[in-house]
Structure 1
Amino acid sequence: MTQKIQTLIKLSTCALMAAAPTWALAHTGHDHSALTGLAEGFLHPLTGLDHLAAMLAVGVWSAIAVRPIWLAPLAFVLMLALGALLGFSGVHVPAVEPMIAASLLVMGLLLAWRRGMPWAAAAAVASVFAVFHGAAHGSEMAGTPTWSALAGMLMGSALLHGAGVLIGQRMAGRVWLQRSAGGALALMGSSLLVGLV
């Protein structure tokens, strides 16, 4: 495991531990302080199966096929922030749900394919889908303190990417497992797309 990934995991774990005492306050009906905004933002990417699967998949895909390994997760987190800010500010981003479903389909196919691509293309794929995931999070969390919720959301997302990288590294050399995981993710994305039609 590289030093950068170990550092990312340590920072994410510290963020998790720091946010843990505030989770009980993250339910509706409590004051929306900066601390509860941070906790709500942190937990938000962990609560939806589609978001959770996509963010883990970015990490797994990065471990298997993207070099440098941190590129796609970094691009995803940066553009997730942009999308979330659009959602927080009430900007309507069209086709959010279909694009989230498409992100699962595409990430699943990329995982099953297991081939690298130029770094710019990998960053572009992660970035495009991240904007839609961010817009969904931001619009769902409108009314939460923006900057603290955004910080929490980015920490939670980075933690998921780091976990995905670890999972991907554990899958090294197990082609059948990589292809099975990719196929399952693509099937999940396809079923979500069909459900939206």
Structure 2
Amino acid sequence: MKSAIKSGLLALAAVALPAVASAHPAIGEAAGFGHGFAHPISGLDHILAMVMVGVFAFQLGGRATWLVPTIFVLVMGLGGVLGIAGINVPFVETGIALSVVVLGAIVALHVKAPLATALGIIGLFAIFHGYAHGAEMPENAAAAGYAAGFMVATALLHVAGLALGYLIGRAGERQGLFVTRTAGGIATIAGVGILTGLI
């Protein structure tokens, strides 16, 4: 078990290192990338939702393992374009908070949704997350670099969720189910706190 955890953490660090090294704010595209990269990892709501997307994808297995995170990132990019363009999308903050509640509950209850349903759910929430990233882009940031930054950071959070799912799976069926339900339950409670303004 310890060797599995070490392997998972080393793999996660190896994947994250190049992106973190590229995230130093400078000028032009680099400044946009740095700001964009920092945005998803600066809010508890984004972090919890993205990690839950990764765990959900792992639980579904098969094609969903890569398709769920990929579709999320692509649709989130579309939401980011809407935000950068200033096109109004209603209930963004509510949608983001609900994404934490719903995705946490899905993970806690180990919901085996059909792939099309799973993609529909994560696609809906991706619009809200992307819009928030785009709408909060600093004025001095380059749009393309900023979008690339928040998409890379989001993908890395999905990888963290997939790694967490893998490590939970290695813990064994009984212990793994307990850990999954606990992690999903904590995310759901945090989401309710965000939704009600208590967090």
What is the TM-score of this pair, normalised by structure 2? Answer: 0.84
Deviations 1:86-133 (A, max 9, x none): 110111110001110110110011001113211111111111000000
Q: Which runs of 5+ in 2 are unaligned?
A: 5-10
5+ long unaligned stretches in structure 1? 2-6, 26-31
Task: Map 1:9-24 to 2 at 5 A.
Answer: 12-19=16-23, 22-23=24-25
Q: How many residues align?
A: 183
2: CA distance between counterparts of 1:35 and 1:58?
Answer: 28
Please tell me the residue identity of whatever aligns with 1:155: V
Q: Distance in 2 between matches of 1:156 and 1:73?
A: 12
Aligned to 1:145: 142
Aligned match of 1:35 in 30, 52, 56? 30
Q: Cα gap change, 1:18/1:195 in structure 2, threshold over 3 Å: closer, same or farther?
A: closer
- Between the aligned partners of 2:85 and 2:183, the Cα distance in structure 1 is 36
Q: Does 1:51 align with 2:46?
A: yes
Kindly indicate whether the alpha-carbon contact (under 8 Å) linking 1:9 and 1:162 is maintained by their aligned counterparts in 2.
no
**Can you list the C-alpha shifts for 1:30-79, whole angstroms capped at 9, x where unaligned?**
xx521111111111111111101111110111112343211110111011
Q: Is the Cα–Cα contact under 8 Å of residues 81 and 131 in structure 2 kept in the other structure?
A: yes
- The amino acid of 1:76's aligned partner reads F
Amino acid at match of 1:127: G
Q: Alignment partner for residue 152 of structure 2, among 152, 155, 159?
A: 155
Distance in 2 separating the partners of 1:101 and 1:13: 29
| Counterpart secondary structure, 1:67 | coil
Q: Distance in 2 between matches of 1:117 and 1:109?
A: 13
C-alpha RMSD over aligned residues: 2.2
Give the match for residue 100 of structure 1: 96
Contact 1:61 1:110 in 2 (8 A): yes
**What SS does the corresponding residue of 2:22 show, helix, strand or coil?**
helix
